[in-house]
Amino acid sequence: MPTHLIIDGYNLLSAGGRLSGQLESARERLLYDLASYRHRKHHHITVVFDGWQQGHPSEQREHRSGMQVIYSKRGERADQVIQRLAREYGPDCAVVSSDHEIACAARAHGAFVMGAQEFASKLRASSLPSGSVPHKELDTGEDFTVRRGPEKKGNPRKLPKSQRQRDRHLKRF
């Protein structure tokens, strides 16, 4: 079952380091990358961009490459649109934003929240040509020390339940 992804457009652009230079070309490149991601993963995608300062008097929606692109109306921030969409879709959506206010509101409505930096790395990894292996650092194991008190029981190497659930959600992307 495909998940509905609601993406904070400018937040993802800044997380991917693409906000420098021409804003229009960076936005087009992001939409192109998201369209190819949608083609591979078959998720429904809605990208929301801010239009609150010099946008149109009404919210602008367009469909591009199978995705819905929303520009918030003048006086309304993309954050408000994303929160409204998260309320509408509830647990059937995933929100991509590093904004704390958006993340809290989306979680309150049951949505899965992924940071923009985290999704940007998944987007880059999924755009690698098939057969190529992304560069990974070797783990030295120096940072892994078990710090459990004598009163705790259970497997010290098992991740907490919340982290295991989050990892299961992330595998879909």
- Domain with 57, as residue range(s), is 4-129
Confidence (pLDDT) at 1: 47
| Residue at 143 is within a domain | no
**Phi, psi angles (nearest 5°) of residue 62:** -145, 155
| pTM given for the model | 0.76
Q: What does DSSP say about strands 67-71 and 44-49: parallel, antiparallel, or unpaired?
A: parallel
| Residue at 160 is within a domain | no
Question: What is the domain-level CATH number for residue 25?
Answer: 3.40.50
| Residue at 112 is within a domain | yes
pLDDT tens profile 85-117: 999 999 999 999 999 999 999 999 999 999 999
| Residue at 123 is within a domain | yes
Q: Which residues pair with 67 in a beta bridge?
A: 64
Confidence (pLDDT) at 133: 52
Return the exposure string of 18-41: e unless at least 16 CB atoms fall within 10 Å of the residue's CB, then b.
beeeeeeebbeebbebbeebbeee
| Residue at 118 is within a domain | yes
| Residue at 11 is within a domain | yes
Q: How many CA atoms lie within 13 A of 165 on its CB side?
A: 5
The tokens for 113 are 């929240």
| Residue at 138 is within a domain | no
Contact predicate 4/44, CB 8 Å: yes
Helix (H, G, I), strand (E, B) or coil at 99: coil
Q: Which runs of E-coded beta strand occur in the chain?
A: 4-8, 44-49, 60-64, 67-71, 93-96, 112-114
Residues in the chain where the model's pLDDT stays below 50 = 1
Q: Which residues pair with 113 in a beta bridge?
A: 95
Domain count within the chain: 1
> What distance in Å separates the CA atoms of residue 41 and residue 37, rounded to the nearest whole number?
6
| Residue at 76 is within a domain | yes
